[in-house]
């Protein structure tokens, strides 16, 4: 919390200018400052050196130092800026038109520095935790991908009415829950692979309204206020949904006896930047000031049922990955307001994203898989064959280029490549493919993106975040092949 200058002030004695020095000497001897009020309304500081002067001298005959009177609630940072400009060493603090204290520049500067450190340390801690979460997610991504793929193969091979089939189904369900957890960790770390779109935020919010209303239940009223001219943003629909669902769930737990949740969006301009401000405000119990600095930390929760502790951490990471900022203001007993600022989208270029509904794709496609982890490549080839496709796997971008150049016609229908490959990135392979073989469709898979700006995904037909299920893979293939059955329409491909 930012301190007001009044909280730092030392008590002070105030004298009229015609008073005698003798009246102020006891205060000066105790080491307390003295303020002298002049007839023209100015305030002056009496230096400690005045103790050695003749006590019969009047205060206004002494070398007084001018000072500025500032309101009690003025922030320390604002006062420090003001006195640095005037080179004053002390300021008087005023409340209800009365001088109540005096504070030195050194005391103010020390408090401002402390507040700066206190503000930086939670951010540094979040960065460190984000890196840890990302490294954990990276290690588990491939393990879960293999588990989900092998489970799908076993499930297909076993009789549906057998106990073994049911056991494998439970394994697949647990792996899917693990995949959801990994995605939350990646979102918190800001390292999730997503395709940002030129997104109609207003339409997205209105579309999500019924879902959010169901999450809140009957005891909480939901208000969604978005203007018709709301600017688009650069984001994936799943990111907006994740932000809002987590904030709504958080608000629901803050209003156990009911209340109101307001979601508003407005176009704003700050420092020359066009932004969209998205706010989520509840009338719940509020967040105590000692808890507020930690609410975005993963696995930190004050809920009695413990919860997952990842909801607000996921929100923070997702907003950060979008290049936005999130702030929170809360009053205990009154409610909490989260405010998010996101940049307006400048371009309408759009890259297809894997939809949540299955697309119809029939036919057998020829697929080139680029995956350097043999433990993933082997079961993935078998899964692709199980889906009715013909698959060939290579371990690097160089091998993929050599295979494509040597294979001649007909070309594969689809290239599936990991983002991280030995000696090169999957995006480089995709760009090369787009230049040499423009009809070859592409899917990029990955669980974690490296630090720095996100990769350019403009040449990719679909993105498949790891870990993924067989259904996810099937949808991505359908999306990349335009859902019309591109391979099925070709006479040289077996239907």
**CATH number of the domain bearing residue 252:** 3.30.565.10
Give the per-residue pLDDT at 483.
38
Q: pLDDT: is 265 or 184 the higher one?
A: 265
CB 343 within 8 A of CB 235: no
Say whether both 371 and 335 belong to one domain.
no
Say whether both 208 and 310 belong to one domain.
yes
Say whether both 400 and 327 belong to one domain.
no
Give the per-residue pLDDT at 227.
93
Task: Classify residue 153 as exposed, middle or buried by CB count within 10 Å of its CB (0-12, 13-18, 19+).
Answer: middle
- The listed range with the strongest mean pLDDT (147-151, 196-200, 278-282) is 278-282
Say whether both 241 and 177 belong to one domain.
no
What are the tokens at 467? 């870990």
Q: pLDDT: is 91 or 228 the higher one?
A: 228
Query: Domains in the chain: how many in total?
Result: 4
Say whether both 398 and 467 belong to one domain.
yes
Q: Residues with Cβ < 8 Å from 113, sequence gap 6 or more?
A: none
- In-domain check, residue 174: yes
Query: Model's pTM, two decimal places?
Result: 0.47
Q: Over 80: is that where the pLDDT of 1 sits? A: no
* Average pLDDT of every residue of the chain: 76
Per the structure, the complete domain to which residue 57 belongs is given by 5-110
- In-domain check, residue 489: no
Give the per-residue pLDDT at 262.
94
Domain boundary among 110, 136, 164: 110
The mean-pLDDT minimum among 26-35, 40-49, 236-245, 479-488 falls in 479-488
E strands present in 188-316: 197-199, 220-225, 233-235, 259-270, 273-282
Phi then psi for residue 12, to 5 deg, are -145, 145
What are the tokens at 120? 């930086």
Phi then psi for residue 313, to 5 deg, are -65, -40
Say whether both 105 and 150 belong to one domain.
no
487 pLDDT band (50/70/90 cuts)? Answer: very low
Domain boundary among 166, 189, 212: 189
Q: What is the mean pLDDT of residues 172-189?
A: 69
In the three-class reduction of DSSP (H, G, I as helix; E, B as strand; rest coil), residue 470 is classed as helix
CATH number at residue 54: 3.10.580.10
- In-domain check, residue 238: yes
CATH number at residue 385: 3.40.50.2300
- In-domain check, residue 395: yes
Q: Report how far apart, in Å, the C-alpha atoms of 453 and of each of 49, 52, 132, 147, 281 are.
A: 60, 66, 19, 31, 31
- In-domain check, residue 338: yes
Say whether both 206 and 315 belong to one domain.
yes
- In-domain check, residue 283: yes
Q: Residues with Cβ < 8 Å from 234, sequence gap 6 or more?
A: 196, 197, 198, 199, 322, 323, 342, 343, 345, 346
- In-domain check, residue 486: no
3-state helix, strand, coil in the chain (%, to 5): 40, 25, 35
The mean-pLDDT minimum among 134-138, 184-188, 201-205, 478-482 falls in 184-188
Say whether both 227 and 323 belong to one domain.
yes
Task: Classify residue 249 as exposed, middle or buried by CB count within 10 Å of its CB (0-12, 13-18, 19+).
Answer: middle
The mean-pLDDT minimum among 37-51, 112-126, 154-168, 285-299 falls in 112-126
For the stretch 150-169, pLDDT in tens is 888 888 888 888 888 888 88
Give the per-residue pLDDT at 141.
73
Q: pLDDT: is 119 or 426 the higher one?
A: 426
Q: Over 50: is that where the pLDDT of 495 sits? A: no
Q: What is the mean pLDDT of residues 259-266?
A: 94
Give the per-residue pLDDT at 393.
92
- In-domain check, residue 457: yes
Give the per-residue pLDDT at 350.
45
Say whether both 404 and 447 belong to one domain.
yes
Say whether both 87 and 58 belong to one domain.
yes
Domain boundary among 75, 91, 110: 110
Q: Which of 245, 242, 248 is nearest to 262 (CA)?
A: 248
The mean-pLDDT minimum among 53-62, 171-180, 250-259 falls in 53-62
Q: Over 90: is that where the pLDDT of 267 sits? A: yes
Give the per-residue pLDDT at 488.
41
Helix axes 105-157, 374-386, angle to 10 degrees: 50
Beta strand 424-425 with 390-394 is: unpaired
Say whether both 310 and 181 belong to one domain.
no
- The listed range with the strongest mean pLDDT (70-74, 219-223, 342-346) is 219-223
Say whether both 476 and 394 belong to one domain.
yes
């Amino acid at each position: 919390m930012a301190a007001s200058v009044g909280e730092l002030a030392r008590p002070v004695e105030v004298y009229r200018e015609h008073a005698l020095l003798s009246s102020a000497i006891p205060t000066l001897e105790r080491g307390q400052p003295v303020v002298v009020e002049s007839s023209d309304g100015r305030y002056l500081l009496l230096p400690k050196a005045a103790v050695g002067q003749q006590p019969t001298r009047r205060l206004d005959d002494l070398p007084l130092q001018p000072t500025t009177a500032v309101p009690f609630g003025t922030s320390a940072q604002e006062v420090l800026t003001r006195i640095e400009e005037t080179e004053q060493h002390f300021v008087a603090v005023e409340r209800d038109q009365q001088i109540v204290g005096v504070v030195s520049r050194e005391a103010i500067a020390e408090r401002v520095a402390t507040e700066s450190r206190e503000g930086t340390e939670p951010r540094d801690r979040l960065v460190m935790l984000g890196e840890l979460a990302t490294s954990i997610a990276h290690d588990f991504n491939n393990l879960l991908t293999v588990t989900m793929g092998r489970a799908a193969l076993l499930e297909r091979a076993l009789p549906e009415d057998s106990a073994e089939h049911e056991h494998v189904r439970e394994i697949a369900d647990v792996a899917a829950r693990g995949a959801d957890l990994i995605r939350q960790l990646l979102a918190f770390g800001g390292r999730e692979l997503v395709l940002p779109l030129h997104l109609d935020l207003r339409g997205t919010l209105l579309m999500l309204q019924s879902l959010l209303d169901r999450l809140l239940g009957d005891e909480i009223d939901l208000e969604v206020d978005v203007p018709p001219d709301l600017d688009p943003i650069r984001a994936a629909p799943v990111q907006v949904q994740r932000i809002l669902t987590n904030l709504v769930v958080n608000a629901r737990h803050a209003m156990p006896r009911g209340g109101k949740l307001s979601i508003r969006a407005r176009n704003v301009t700050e420092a020359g930047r066009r932004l969209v401000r998205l706010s989520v405000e509840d009338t719940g119990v509020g967040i105590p000031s000692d808890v507020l600095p930690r609410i975005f930390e993963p696995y930190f929760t004050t809920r009695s049922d413990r919860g997952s502790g990842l909801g607000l951490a996921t929100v923070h990471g997702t907003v950060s990955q979008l290049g936005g900022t999130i702030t929170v203001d809360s009053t205990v007993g009154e409610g909490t307001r989260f405010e998010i600022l996101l940049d307006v989208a400048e371009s309408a270029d759009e890259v297809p994203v894997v939809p949540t509904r299955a697309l119809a794709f029939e036919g057998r496609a020829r697929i080139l898989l680029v995956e350097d982890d043999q433990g993933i490549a082997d079961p993935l080839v078998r899964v692709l064959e199980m889906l009715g496709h013909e698959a060939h796997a290579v371990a690097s971008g160089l091998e993929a280029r050599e295979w494509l150049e040597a294979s001649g016609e007909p070309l594969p229908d689809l290239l599936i490549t990991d983002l991280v490959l030995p000696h090169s990135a999957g995006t480089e392979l995709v760009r090369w493919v787009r230049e040499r073989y423009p009809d070859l469709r592409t899917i990029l898979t990955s669980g974690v993106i490296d630090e720095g700006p996100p990769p350019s995904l403009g040449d990719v037909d679909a993105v498949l975040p790891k870990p993924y299920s067989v259904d996810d893979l099937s949808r991505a293939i359908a999306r990349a092949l335009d859902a019309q059955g591109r391979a099925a329409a070709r006479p040289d491909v077996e239907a």
